[in-house]
Structure 1
Amino acid sequence: MTQTLERIKTSTELPESTSVVIIGGGIVGISAALTLAERNIPVVLLEKGHIACEQSSRNLGWIRKTSRDAQDVPLAQAADKLWQSMPERIGQSVGYKQSGIMFLANTTEQMEVYENWIKSVDDLNLDSTLLSNEEIAKRVPNSSKKWAGAIYTASDGRAEPHIATPGLAKAALQRGAKILQNTAVRCLMTSGGKVNGVITEAGEIKCEQVILAGGMGSRRFLGNMGINLPTLGLVCSVMRTTPIDGPTDIAVGASNFSFRKHQGGGYVITQRGALKAPLVLDHLLIGYKYLEQLKHQRSFLRVSLGKEFLRDLALARRWQATSASPFERLRINNPPTVDGLNQEALAALREAWPIFNQANIDEAWAGLIDVTPDSNPIIDNIDTLPGLTLATGFSGHGFGTGPAAGQLAADIATGATPLVNNGPYKFSRL
């Protein structure tokens, strides 16, 4: 588990009714709850484990526009403004710092990719720029490698995942939101083909709208209702060093490592060029939807067939409201750290910046990422089930846009003017 995730005290009493129920206590669900509470809309958030217990506290903490799909950038720009105003909004720091993000290139081919990306976002008024090796050295000195170049966005930043979501949750509680932890939702209640409540392990709650922000659990939850959400899981391993005098405050990504400064003085490091792909039944059921993605990213995947397959098979795919759901059997996805990937990253980083030979690893952890076929999330109504809004499938880059994604989901669910156009996030595209 990552660092010291603050455990907040929440309610244990299930309300009879509310306006909006949110399923999932990650940064997107919590941001939606805070948005609704600020608008004086009654909201109850239900989390099967505890707040931010999965990917929302296990990610790298990057807040970036760089190299996002051009259609995804407006949401990231809206999130930037929300991150900047966060201390005033919630009354505490979340470690946000607009320190910049830089992606390095080993080859001219990679630089061409960055050049094409800048052209694709030319009308979005970003401050992204291409750098030469000499310009890289000025910003991140003492590298032992000569780089083909880099792309750099000074307005990108970072925050600390282990304090951000709990901080947002406390603010939501102060503004009147109700949050229940260790309370799994088993299924939705409907009347006349429309959602009118949820059935939890502790009883029923009537409501007008439901927002599903369940991360990796969203596919299984929807599958129980016959709705096919295509997401597959990938495991990202991360480590944090003890405090060292590193080369920069800028977050840096290369082909086989990334690092960013941690507020405790160390660095958060990962193998940017590889993720573990534990095979499960869903790879057989929906893997064909990922063939195009696989053409370009096969080298990034470390495919494995092991205990994960059997554990996944043991969890029910269909259940009744009167029986325990799989979310009660597995409340927290806590994948083991892939030490080999972490060691690869550290070795590559030390080769590129020898200063990291002085780094000692303080802790390591892993998180399970829910990936869609195009790596963009779903933030949309379900046409076949009025009253249900999805905010899921963030594909490993949802922390940065989390505050804006949650607000957009709240807008859609309640019919408010949307923060940004949700066209890129339509469920129908998948």
Structure 2
Amino acid sequence: MPGPRVVPVHGDEDLPSRVDAVVIGGGIVGCSTALELAERGVSVALCEKGGIGQEQSSRNWGWVRISRRDPREVPLMAEALRIWPELDRRTGRDTGYRRAGIVFTCADDAEYERHESWPRNLQGYQIEARMLTPAEFRSLVPGAEMDIKGALYTPADGRAEPQKAAPAIAEAARDKGAAILTECAVRGIETSGGRVSGVITERGAIACSSVILAGGAWSNLFCGLYGLDLPQLKVMNSVLRTKPLEGGPEQAVWANGFAVRKRQDGGYTVASGHENVVDIVPKSFRYAMNFLPALRQEWRSLNFRLSGRFLDEARIPGRWRMDEASPFEYCRVLDPKPSERLSNRALANLKRAFPAFEAAEIAQRWAGYIDVTPDAVPVISAVDTIPGFHIATGFSGHGFGIGPAAGRLMADIVTGRPPVVDPHDFRFSRFSDGSEIRPISGF
């Protein structure tokens, strides 16, 4: 099943012998980090094992939202909402960004109460979020036929095109002097005197003083090579897009049975509002206790299955030599088969809510692996035990919208600038320093 059609980025032919920083991973977070560093005059090489934005960065819903975020992410997402409107001008390319608002509907009183309390997280940010009555919802979103108690509406939220955003940012980083290396897996890092001194890629070595791992779902495997235990698992989300359609909502809308947002081409991206597939793999057992608090909250929305993925991951070696092909070279792109059952159900629910979608024609389906942490909060952090090594991963399905700000924060950490937001909640050491690790209920 082919993935979404991503704007192609042709990698550089020449491998630099030395740069200040190497970014591992060409998703939106890695590309944003590379752009931020390059704009500050830092020489940088971005190494991607496959193509730019080919995995979850192009497979997500395309939502740019602060609403219903974990409160620990709100300061960084507020920064992202300042960055996104300038990205087209800054990159000189089209990301498809538009501020159109996002609506989270409330099916019952309990859900309304949870949503009603959320806007207090925006105090001090000059970002509006308000509750809508059913009548106000129908006025804002014409064509909806939904029996709801109300809705949370955040006008500052928006949407962008995942198949365009990471490529645009990568090309802009190259414009600023970054080397963009595709089909160039990093096999490992080199150290000298206990700190990072370079990386070994499949095409040769690059000397550097800083490495940023923005490897998405592959980050746990890479970290394990150096005895770093990053608790991370994968969740599969299935998506479909429709051909252009008249009469659908301008705002992105979430409901228990569907999530929908308008695309730049006039079609719509559609997915389940809450259901995902979880493949049981060997690391499911290793990290079972880490994820138990999250499982207690989210088990109703998770479809566990035992599939061929168990054996696929069981065969992946945990260690490899630098002069041999790494697992990253044997699987360039994670391209799982989507669940037609879940996406068909989402589309059926959408048709009941918005009769205009009775005319919808499915143009394409795909699925992607979301990399999740036990507290559903990312790691954006230096690694104390390996000076010069940094991690930006574990965005738990929230990475697309927050990606440009995550890249800014990561660049601050690498260069020693005052951080754009307090990075304490994103520290890697929280998994080993005795901190309580759990998601915040309701987000």
TM-score, structure 2 length as denominator? 0.95
Instruction: Note the 1:50-61 alignment, pairs <5 A.
Output: 50-61=51-62
- Aligned partners of 2:249, 2:347: CA distance in 1, in Å? 17
1:277 CA drift (Å): 0.3
1:142 CA drift (Å): 2.9
AA in 1 matched with 2:429: S
**Which residue pairs with 1:167 in the alignment?**
168
**Which residue pairs with 1:6 in the alignment?**
7
SS at the partner of 1:85? helix
- Aligned partners of 1:170, 1:155: CA distance in 2, in Å? 27
Residue 245 (structure 2) pairs with residue 255 (structure 1): no
SS at the partner of 2:248? coil
Greater shift, 413-422 or 266-275, is seen at: 413-422
1:2 CA drift (Å): 4.4
- Aligned partners of 2:349, 2:400: CA distance in 1, in Å? 26
- The C-alpha deviation readout for 1:96-126, integer Å capped at 9, x for no partner, is 1000000001111011111222234434433
AA in 2 matched with 1:198: V
- Aligned partners of 1:98, 1:220: CA distance in 2, in Å? 37
**Which residue pairs with 2:34 in the alignment?**
33
Instruction: Note the 1:295-334 alignment, pairs <5 A.
Output: 295-334=296-335
1:192 CA drift (Å): 1.5
- The C-alpha deviation readout for 1:16-70, integer Å capped at 9, x for no partner, is 1110010000011111111111111100110000111101111111000000011
8 A contact 1:235–1:277 mirrored in 2:
yes
1:141 CA drift (Å): 2.0
- The C-alpha deviation readout for 1:77-110, integer Å capped at 9, x for no partner, is 1111111111210112211100000000111101
- Aligned partners of 2:353, 2:406: CA distance in 1, in Å? 35
Residue 252 (structure 2) pairs with residue 236 (structure 1): no
8 A contact 1:232–1:283 mirrored in 2:
yes
**Which residue pairs with 1:367 in the alignment?**
368
- Aligned partners of 1:77, 1:205: CA distance in 2, in Å? 35
SS at the partner of 2:253? strand
- Aligned partners of 1:392, 1:374: CA distance in 2, in Å? 13
**Which residue pairs with 1:222 in the alignment?**
223
**Which residue pairs with 1:391 in the alignment?**
392
AA in 1 matched with 2:57: S
1:326 CA drift (Å): 0.7
Greater shift, 211-220 or 110-119, is seen at: 110-119
- Aligned partners of 2:35, 2:289: CA distance in 1, in Å? 38
Aligned length: 430
- Aligned partners of 1:192, 1:230: CA distance in 2, in Å? 28
8 A contact 1:209–1:387 mirrored in 2:
yes
1:3 CA drift (Å): 4.1
Greater shift, 417-426 or 156-165, is seen at: 417-426
- How much is the aligned-residue C-alpha RMSD, in angstroms? 1.1
**Which residue pairs with 2:71 in the alignment?**
70
Instruction: Note the 1:102-117 alignment, pairs <5 A.
Output: 102-117=103-118
SS at the partner of 1:40? coil
8 A contact 1:2–1:162 mirrored in 2:
no
1:145 CA drift (Å): 2.4
Q: Which runs of 5+ in 1 are unaligned?
A: none
**Which residue pairs with 1:205 in the alignment?**
206
